[in-house]
Amino acid sequence: MRIGEASRASGASARSLRYYEDEGLIVPGRHSNGYRDYCRSTIDRVLVIRSLLESGLPVRLIKEVLPHLTERPAADPDVTCAEFLREVRTYRDRVAARIALLSEQQAALDAYLREAGTPPDDHHLTLTHM
């Protein structure tokens, strides 16, 4: 299928599909006229990529794990999985640290607003509600 059809089938924009290709995450076939040709397995791979991106993983980690999720791994899958999980935990810990810092900043701003005689907006979105 061509890129428009692949976009509809995967829910990823044509621009995203080109980006995934540029990053080496997918390798669509090519017709003789140069048009990309997306097969069902490539669409399935795009769905996995989108799921991993939506979970917050960076492309760098997705590149490392994607072959092991969508193809038969050449290396020991237990070692690969353990290494990937270590990377995911490290990434999650960095996200948690950023959230903690943002929470502290939000609390400081709320305190400043209270001291200034203006209570914080009751309708503001707090990090704890995300």
Q: What is the per-residue pLDDT across 46-70, written as a single tens digit (0 to 9) for each?
A: 999 999 999 889 998 898 888 777 6
Q: How many CB atoms lie within 10 A of CB 42?
A: 24
Q: Is 108 helix (H, G, I), strand (E, B) or coil?
A: helix
Which of 30-34, 48-52, 65-69, 90-94 shows the lowest per-residue confidence on average (mean pLDDT)?
A: 65-69
How far apart CA 12 and CA 15 sit, in angstroms, is 8
Q: Hey, where are the domains in the chain?
A: 1-71, 74-130
Topology of domain 1-71, per CATH?
Multidrug-efflux Transporter Regulator; Chain: A; Domain 2 (1.10.1660)
Run of H or E including 74? none
Handedness of CA 10, 14, 20, 24 (dihedral sign): positive
Run of H or E including 29? strand 29-30
pTM of the model: 0.66
